[in-house]
Every structure is written in structure tokens, then in C-alpha cells.
Amino acid sequence: MRKIRKPKPKPQIEVVKEEPIFSLSNFKNYPRIIGMFMLLLFIPPLGWLFAYKYSPYDKKTTLTMSVLCTAFFVYAVIISPEHSFIDVGKLKREDFAARYNEQADKLAPNLNIKIDENKLVVGRVDFIYSVTDTINLRGKIDDDTLFVKEVSIVADPKNTDESFQMLNACGLVVAVLNPELNQEKRGDVFRELEMLEKAADEDLNTSAVRGKVTYTLRKNDGELFFNARINDDF
């Protein structure tokens, strides 16, 4: 007897109804995503815990986002100096001295070139301080706003140690007035001023501009004059 083969059932094609891209159901995770990002950016420890428990993404994506957000937090809060957000054109004498000493503690802690407020000579439109016996600092103050408009260092170094102190005192002024510059870029200011190459030249007269500040260096009667002036056109 001939066997009758049953026809194989045709595969059923399942019709999937596509959900519109902008369906309201796509927004159900948005509050969770926004909350996760806010915590990761501003409170990383809580952000990591929240992302671990409630992230709508896969583990790899969640980990990548968490690392990037934490890196941003570390840079913005810890690495990036808060002075970068201060208008250096609006520093009063007390602010300048405090920031100068802060930089001295950080960059030149053993050179004894900090400003002692008790020995600061304050006038109506200026302030003067003897950093050492051969280094003098003078600041000019705007009579109306009381903001520091200009800072000068006059030095007559007698030996290598005093020259090193003078160079660092000038570097602290640059660090205060241009906090966005790192150590290498502050060195570029001195290279542009030819401070090391032409320090012995009597006709020394150089300048450099960084941001709001114009730096000049000149020599007169054996004394070096370093000046930092905040430009009025900013």
C-alpha cells in the first residue's frame, strides 16, 4: 500500500507590529536615566550604586557611562583649579595676596617668598611688600573699584639663590593672574620674555600677552622690572 505523505505545515510568519519611535512607552525610562546621570555627575558614589541597581542599559554601556561621568567629576572638582572661574580683573588686594600665598605653598613652599600681611605697606592706590632684601613687589589698585590693576616685581639679585627666588616670585604672579596656565605654559611666558637668555642685557625690554594680562620685562640700572598689567579692553 502506498503511503500518503502529509504535507509539511507551512511556517507561520509572525507579524510584529512596530511601535512608533516616539511612542510614549519609550519615555518611561527617561526619569531613571536623567536621575542616574545627575547622580553620576554630582554624587558619583550614589550614582554608581543607582546605576548598578536601576540602569536600563546593559552592563558594558552602564560601566562606560559611569567611568566617563566620574572622570568628568574628578576633573571639574579636583583637577581643574577653581581659580579658573574667577575674574582676575576683579581681584582686591586681599584676594591677590591670599591667592599668591596659596600658590607659594603649592609651588614654592621652601623659598620664603610668601606675603606677610603684617609687613605689607598699604596705600590708597597701591601696596608694597619686600619679598626679600633684593626683591620688592608692588601692586597698583584702581581708586574707584579697589581692584588690582597691575603688579610689579623689582629685583636686584646678587647671587643664584636670589635670582631663583625672583624667578619664582614672578612665576607666582603669573599663576595668580593666569590660573588656566599649567607649569609648562607659565614657562612659555618666561621664554617669550627672554628672561633667562637676556637677563644680563641692559637693553632688555620684552613683552608677552596671556589672556587678560600683558607681561613686560625690562632692565634699568642693573635692576630687573617684571610687570603684569590687566588689560582694560576686557
Residue 157, C-alpha cell as written in the block:
639679585
pLDDT in the model for residue 10: 61
Q: What crossing angle do the helices spanning 93-107 and 160-177 adopt, rounded to 10°?
A: 120
What value does the mean pLDDT take over residues 10-25? 51
What value does the mean pLDDT take over residues 8-22? 53
Most confident of 11-25, 60-74, 122-136: 122-136
Residue 65 near residue 39 (C-beta atoms within 8 A):
no
As a whole number of angstroms, the distance between CA 27 and CA 37 comes to 16
pLDDT > 90? residue 217: yes
pLDDT in the model for residue 15: 52
pLDDT > 80? residue 7: no
Closest CA to 127 of 116, 115, 138: 138
Residue 153 near residue 173 (C-beta atoms within 8 A):
yes
DSSP H or E stretch at residue 227: strand 223-230
Residue 130, C-alpha cell as written in the block:
619686600
Domains of the chain, residue spans:
24-79, 85-230
Q: H helices within the chain, ranges in order?
A: 30-42, 44-54, 59-74, 93-107, 160-177, 183-193
As a whole number of angstroms, the distance between CA 229 and CA 214 comes to 5
Residue 75, C-alpha cell as written in the block:
576633573
pLDDT band at 82 (very low <50, low <70, confident <90, very high): very low
Q: H helices within 6-157, ranges in order?
A: 30-42, 44-54, 59-74, 93-107
Q: Please give the torsion angle defined by the CA atoms of residues 182, 81, 75 and 234, in that order, rounded to the nearest 10 degrees.
A: -80
Of 228 and 20, the one with more pLDDT: 228
pLDDT > 70? residue 125: yes
pLDDT tens digit string along 158-206?
888 888 999 999 999 999 999 988 889 999 999 999 887 766 666 788 9
Residue 74, C-alpha cell as written in the block:
574628578
